[in-house]
Structure 1
Amino acid sequence: MATDLYSHFHPDEHRFVDKAQEWIVRAALNHAVKQTDFLDPRQAFIVQSLANRHGDVNLRFEGGYGQAERKRAIIAPPYREIGADEADIGLLSVTSDDSRFSQLDHGDFLGSLLGVGIKREKIGDIHVGDGCCHCLIASEIIDYVHLNLQQVHRVHVLTETLPLDRLQAVNQTLEELNLSVASLRLDGIVSDVYRLSRAKVLQPIKSGRCKVNWKPEEDPSKPLKEGDVVSFQGFGRFRLIEVEGETKKGRIRLKVGKFV
C-alpha cells in the first residue's frame, strides 16, 4: 500500500488497514463478498475511508439496531445489493433468579462472554437492563455461547436466543463529573477523571494504553475537545461533554461523563 495512505493512520492501525484494503480490493477486482467481524467506530471509519478512496465497492454497516456502536461491515462488488440480514447478527438474552444479578455491569458480562473462549470481535453492543442483559453476537457462534455461558461473575445465569426485533436497547449511563483543569491536555484530564497522579498516567499513555475516539493516542499533551471519547485501559472510558468556560483564576471548567 502506498506510504501516503499509511500516513493517515496510527502505526498500531497499519495491520488492520492492510486487512481492510485487501477486503476492498478483493470485492472490487475479484467480485468477492466480505463479511467482517464487529468493528469499533474507528475501524468502521478506516473501512469507510478506504472504500471511498477505491470507489468500486458497495459497503454496508449493520450492528443489529440503528444506534449501534459496534457494527459488522459487508463489502461487496458495486453491482451487488446488500441486505441487512446479511450481517448475521444474533441476540442472546441473559437472565437470572439470583438477586445479585442486578449488581452486574457491562464489564462483568463482557468478561464472562470472553471467558467462554470467544474473541471480542465476535461481540457487538451489550445492553444491561433491569432483570436482563441483551448481547448482540455474531450468528455463527451464538449457539456455542448459548450452551456455554452459565455464570457471570459467579452468578448463575440462563440464556436464550431471541429474534433481533426483541432487542431491549439501553442507553449507556454516564456519571457526570464537574472538573476544573489547568488545560485541555489529555494527561491532565485523565488524571483528574480517574483520580490518579499525573505521573501514573504518563507512562500508560506513552505506551499506547489510551485511545481518543477509538484511535491510539500516545501524546500526553494532546488537547481534548467537546465530544471526544477517551478510553484508558483498566479504568474504563469517559466523554468530554462540555467545555464550560474559565474560572476567575484562569482554570477551565469541564463537564465529563464516565461510562458506567
Structure 2
Amino acid sequence: MTIATRAVGVDELRRAWNAVQEGQFLEPRPMDPGAAPRPTGPVVAGDRTWRPRESVLPVVGCLPQAGATSLALAIATHGSPARVIECSSPTASGLVGAATAELGTTSSGWTVGRRGAVHLARLSAHHLSAGELPLPDEAAAGTVLSVLDVGWKLGQMLASHGWLSATVDAAPQVVLVGTATVPGLRRLETTLTLFGPSRPVVAVRGPDPRRWPRELTSAMGPATRSQHRTGRWVAVPHDKRLAVRGIDSAPLPPALVTAARDVLRHVSAAAHPQEERS
C-alpha cells in the first residue's frame, strides 16, 4: 500500500505549534490497556477547578537541576503534616526513591507514597502539556500544606489551560529556585519579571550574595537585586551527598530543612505583614 504525503510549510508548522502551546489539540485519546485512568481532555475552570482545603505553595525551578524538588520536599518536611505534588513527567521525577512506603497508583493517575508525616504524589503517565494534568487527589486527613513542585518550563505552564497554571497564577506567594551561577541568575531575573516584586520568595543554591565573586554580583539584574535588598531571599546550601545520590529515603540534610524553614518564614511574613511589623 502506498501512502501519499505532502510537504508541510513553515507557516503551517508554526500554526500547529501555537495550537499545541494553547492546548487546542487536547482531545480524548485511547487509553493503553492497563494504563491508569486519566482525564480525557484539558482541565478547565468550573467544576473541574482544583479546590484544595489546605494551603498551597508553588515551587518553581528557574532552570533545570536547580534543586526545586529537594527544596519542595524540605518545605513539606518542615511544614508537615504536608504533601508534595510533583507535576513533572515521570521520566524527570526526582521523587522516585524518596518514599519510605509506596502506596500505589490512584484512579486519577497519581503514584503516591509516604515518608513520615509527608505524603508524596507524582505522575504515573506522560502528558503533552500542563493543561492535561489530572486533578490532584484530596489530601490525607490533617494535611495543612500542599507543596507544588511545578516541574514545567514556566512559559509552557503559564500558557496552558488547566488547574496548575490557574493555581500558580492565583497563589499569593511563589517560591522561585535558582542557582548562584551566571546562567542561573539570568533565568532568575527573567522569572522574577513574570511574577512582580511582592509574590516571590527567592531560594538560591549557593552562599549569600555578600560572599559572591564580582562576576556573580555583576550578573544580578534589578529585580534580583531588589529581592535580595528587601530580604525575600534564602541561601540554600549545596549538599554533596544529595548532589551525587539524589533524593532517597534517607533523611534530608539538616541544613536544607533549615533553609526550608526560612522560606516558610518569609512566606508567612508576606501573608501576615502586620504581624511581622509588630
Q: Smaller-chain TM-score range?
A: under 0.3
Structure having greater relative contact order (Cα 8 Å, sep ≥ 6)? 2
How high is the TM-score relative to the length of structure 1?
A: 0.26
Give the structure-2-normalised TM-score: 0.25
